[in-house]
Structures are given as C-alpha cells and as structure tokens.
Amino acid sequence: MAGERARIGVIGTGWWSTYTHLPGLLGNPSADLVALCDRSAEALERAAKAFPGPRTFTDLDAMLAEARLDGVVVATPHATHQAIAARCLDAGLHLMLEKPMSLVARDARDLVARARNAGRELIVGYPWHFTSTAKRARELITSGALGRPQHVVCLMASMAIEFYRGNDGAYQPVFKWTVAGPGDVYADPKRSGGGQGHLQVTHSSGLMFFVSGLQAQRVSAVMNSYDVPVDLVDAISVQFEGGAVGVVGSTGNLGVGDAGQLDIRVYCERGYVLLDAITGGLRVRHHDGTEERIQLAADATYPRFATAANLVDVCLGRAPNGSSGEIALRSVELLDAAYRSAAARGASVSIGDL
C-alpha cells in the first residue's frame, strides 16, 4: 500500500464539510480529494473557491458515475442522509456518513444492511470514538473485566440554543469558520428532524453504546423546547437488554463559549468507569480499591478529522472501521423511540416496535 492514495469525494459543502472534512482530507497525505457535490450551486462555488482543485458536481449520480471514487463523505442535512447514503453504498463505495446516521430506525437498519450486502464499510461521524480513553473504557467493559453493566448515566450539556434559534452568527467567534456557518438548518425540523436529540444526544448516546456494548430494549422520554422550534432539553430513561438500566439526559441551553459536559458513567458488578469526553479524562475504579486514570492532552480530546481519516484508511485497507454503522444504529433506535415516547407524553416504547 506504500504510496497509494484513496480517491475521496465529499457530498455536501456546507458548514461542517468546509470547517472539518475538506481541510482534513486536503491535509491527509494518503487522500486525494477529487470531487465535491452539492445541489446548491452557490454553496458548491463557495467551497470550490476556498478549496480549489476537486471537480465539482451538482448532480450526485453524475459524480458517482464519473469521479472513479474509492469512498465518500456525506455531510448534508439530517433528513437527507438515508437517500444519499443508500445511493453511495449501492455504487460500491465505502462511506463516512455524518451523524445522525438517519432520523428513524428503519432507515438506519436499511443502511446497515446495504453496507453489509455490498461488502462496504459504513463509518458514522463520531470523533470521540477514536480517543484512547473511549477505546480503553470500551475494552474494559466489553471484555467483562468489571462484570456486567448494571447502571448507566449519560449526560451532555452544550451551547446549542442559538443554533436552534437560527442565529448561527452567535457562534462564529467560537468556531471562527471562514467559508460558511450552518445557517438556520438546526432550527428547521423538516431538515434536521429535531433539536438537541438529533444534533447532540446522537453524540452522547453513540459514545455510550460504543463504550458499554449495550443495546436499548425499552425507552421512555420527556422533552421541552421552551422558546425554540425544536427540542432543547431531553430526559430519557432506558432499559437495556441484559437487565441494565440507565438515564440519558441533555440540554442545549449553555451560554456561547461554554465547553459543556459529556459524561458517560457505567457502573458494573465489580467496578465502574467514569469517562469525561470534554476534558479527556478517564477514571476506572475496581471494587477492590484499585484505580486506573488516563488524561488526554488538550489537543487530543476531540479528534474532528479522525472520521474522514478513518475512511481513507479503510479504503486503503490500513485500518478497520472505528465508528461502525452497527453501533450508530443503536443510537438511532434510542432517539427514534425517545421522540415517539415524548410525543406520546412519556409512554414507554419498545425498540422492537420501531
């Protein structure tokens, strides 16, 4: 594989692509960024001006037919994920699909099946899965070293409320994007599906399932949107297969510039794991009193280029899928059930009914 480079296309040239995926791929010595696709000619022109070189397409089928790709990154509004991802998988391409994988469980299951049938990898955009702390926590729990999980606490608090008001400019001083912000997409239920759940709980629950290896069985939830058009605060209770129970909570009402919290706590038969994804800390305590602690460097806590880099490595046969669609499916199932439960005012929803 020495000297080989993966030919990558990017579908969707809005905020997250121009802020993360395009610079990450252009800086990757094993990647050739050969194609950009967006149905908005204006967005495509803006991205091509900032990142000249790749061929541009406003038609997805034309890009898939002409660009001779090894893999694609899809970073489009949430509601479009399933249809675009299905076409890419059916074209025989490895895929890095931004979170949430889809808005409903049936679409996520369809994508997982398509990837399996095509023999392609479906990577979902969860950068925290690539940290050494998350991987160590996963190793300890899924190996059974701490016994079976019995109770899980998953909390995410973030500065998202102005996104839900359509006021993306409030965050420009934080992210310092130079090409484009997200505009009002996160304030539009038709494009994003929901608010804090689909934008943020997808991250925290995805990390919870990655670390714990658990599968939700029944879910009940309540949500409140307050003065924004999508959910701002979510409270979800979960019964997992195997008997563990847990709570998944999140709010997007933190002030601009607040780094927030993303904590995963898994209490097992013989010890517990405390993972702080924001600060990069991991604490493991065994019932015999022994402890293990890991602290990541500040620049390693959120490896935002890691998901597209994993796509490149997968295309070249250098690495396995580090954020699989099978794990992401569990997050989609949880959120699908949570939104249904909240709509029914807290009624419990079985994952098997989705």
Question: 84 pLDDT band (50/70/90 cuts)?
Answer: very high
- Averaged pLDDT of the chain: 97
Q: What is the mean pLDDT of residues 127-148?
A: 98
Distance from the Cα of residue 98 to its chain's centroid:
6
**198 and 291 co-located in one domain:** yes
Domain hosting 105: range is: 6-126
Q: What is the pLDDT of residues 256-308, one digit of tens each?
A: 999 999 999 999 999 999 999 999 999 999 999 999 999 999 999 999 999 99
Same domain, 220 and 178: yes
In a domain, 239, yes or no: yes
d(CA 51, CA 53): 7
User: CB neighbours of 173 closer than 8 A, spacing ≥ 6?
Assistant: 256, 257
Residue 192 sits in the same domain as residue 182: yes
Q: How many CA atoms lie within 13 A of 13 on its CB side?
A: 27
- Asked if residue 252 and residue 176 are part of one domain, the reply reads yes
- Give the three-class secondary structure for 149: strand
Contact predicate 125/10, CB 8 Å: no
Selection from 306, 312, 307 nearest residue 94 by Cα: 312
Band the pLDDT of 346: cuts 50, 70, 90. Answer: confident
Residue 11 covered by a domain: yes
- pLDDT-derived band at 3 (thresholds 50, 70, 90) equals low
Decide: 305 and 30 in contact? Cβ < 8 Å.
Answer: no
Given a contact cutoff of 8 angstroms between Cβ atoms, the answer to whether 98 and 123 are in contact is no
Q: What does the pLDDT look like over 187-207, one tens digit per residue?
A: 999 999 999 999 999 999 999
Q: Is the bond leading into 189 cis (omega within 30 degrees of zero)? A: no
Interatomic CA distance for residues 187 and 169, integer angstroms: 13
Has residue 93 got a pLDDT over 70?
Answer: yes
Last residue of a domain, one of 126, 150, 169: 126
Count of domains observed in the chain: 2
> What's the CATH code of the domain at 24?
3.40.50.720
Q: Are 21 and 53 in contact (CB under 8 A)?
A: no
Domain assignment present for residue 316? The answer is no
Same domain, 210 and 330: yes
The enclosing domain of 158 has a CATH number of: 3.30.360.10
| Domain boundary pick from 126, 159, 174 | 126
Query: Can you say whether residue 47 is alpha, beta or left, with left for phi > 0 and alpha for psi between -120 and 50 degrees?
Result: alpha
* Assigned token pair, 140: 């300890």
Residues 44 and 142 in one domain: no
User: Which of 307, 259, 322, 261 shows the shortest CA–CA distance to 20?
Assistant: 307
Would you say residue 132 has pLDDT above 90? yes
- Statement to judge: residues 233 and 267 lie in one domain: yes
Say yes or no to pLDDT of 2 above 50.
no
Longest distance between any two alpha carbons in the chain, whole Å = 62
Specify if 133 maps to a domain.
yes
In a domain, 98, yes or no: yes
Are 88 and 103 found together in one domain? yes
94 Cβ partners below 8 Å, 6+ apart?
Answer: 70, 71, 72, 120, 121, 123, 311, 314, 315
| 35 and 112 both lie in a single domain | yes
Q: Is 151 in the same domain as 229? A: yes
143 shares a domain with 73: no
Give domain status of residue 216, yes or no.
yes
Residue where a domain stops, chosen among 102, 126, 150: 126
